[in-house]
Amino acid sequence: LRVLKGHTNSIRGFGFFPDGRCLATGSWDRSVIIWDVNSGEVEKKLTGHTGRIRSVVMAPDGSVFASGSDDGTLRIWDGTSGNQIGEPIAMYPGNNRKASWLAVSFSPDSRRVAATRRGRVWIWDVQTKALVTGPLQTSGAVSESYTTCFSPDGSRIAADAGGRTIRVWDLISEKVIFDLKGHSSSHITWTAFTPDGRELLSASFDRIICRWELMGFWNLKTGNQKSRFLQHQAAVVCIALSPDGTLLATGDHEGTVYIWD
């Protein structure tokens, strides 16, 4: 329907506004652009990041969106005006060390935002920007974690833990409840809980989508792999579930999208 041209480098994140009229995209050119989807025109160009933008994520209620960057900051933007809200969240406040925020996700109630860096997961209050959870430590075998997601009830969070493992934490106790092992590549690119929170889906550079059952098993540290989807011929980089959990869309590096029942 539309080709949107305005960035000068690779695009690494995007999110639709609640009304579907606008789209926010983040790029390695250090900018976030808000587009009018119908006209294809740039509504606003947001600057402030001094490093490549790695992720842009819209909060579920559309009130805010977040961008993570190589400059070591996580910035929160107003979902209506596009203006930055307050000061950015800095990984190393008060000094010049840089660290990328690679994977960013919001809690279902839009009140918390999580980000990953070098095998750790941090969670902040969106309004106060106070750290409320973490850092949660992965196995230590990962230098860059590309995915994190909250469970539908906000009580758990999953992230790439390195060593071909996805780790799931309970956010009340901050304890590990699952280490999910099944991928043959250490690059886990995407994770998503099903709407009922009983299963987790994951995608990887190994071209496989794994489906994990997280409930009703005594061996809580390993979970149970219910099925594997093997159709892709290239690295799987993104997945999305339909709101009712009945359909799964997966996309790979060669531009192929599959729809699964």
CA 72 to mean position of chain CA atoms: 17
Give the pLDDT band of residue 225 (cuts 50, 70, 90).
Answer: very low
Q: Tell me whether residue 203 is in a domain.
A: no
- Say if 84 falls within a structural domain: yes
Residue 35 lies in a domain: yes
Q: Is residue 5 part of a domain?
A: no
Q: What is the DSSP letter of 155?
A: S
What is the distance between the alpha carbons of residues 122 and 261, in angstroms, rounded to a whole number?
Answer: 34
- The residue segments making up the domain with residue 112 are 11-192+210-224
Over the stretch 234-247, which tens digit does the pLDDT of each residue have? 666 666 666 677 77
Instruction: Tell me whether residue 107 is in a domain.
Output: yes
Total domain count, the chain: 1
Confidence of residue 206 (pLDDT cuts 50, 70, 90): confident
- Pair of tokens at residue 22: 């606008």
CATH number at residue 17: 2.130.10.10
Q: Checking phi first, is residue 255 left (phi over 0); if not, alpha (psi -120 to 50) or beta?
A: left
| pLDDT tens-place string over residues 52-81 | 888 889 999 989 999 998 888 899 999 888
Residue 98: pLDDT band (50, 70, 90) is low
> Quick one: pLDDT band at residue 111, thresholds 50, 70, 90?
very high
Q: Is 58 a member of any domain?
A: yes
Q: What is the dihedral of CA 198, 204, 209, 210, to 10 degrees?
A: -40
Q: Is the pTM of this model over 0.85?
A: no
- Is 198 inside any structural domain? no
Sheet with 224-229: strands ordered across: 188-193, 199-204, 209-213, 224-229
* Position 3 in a domain: no
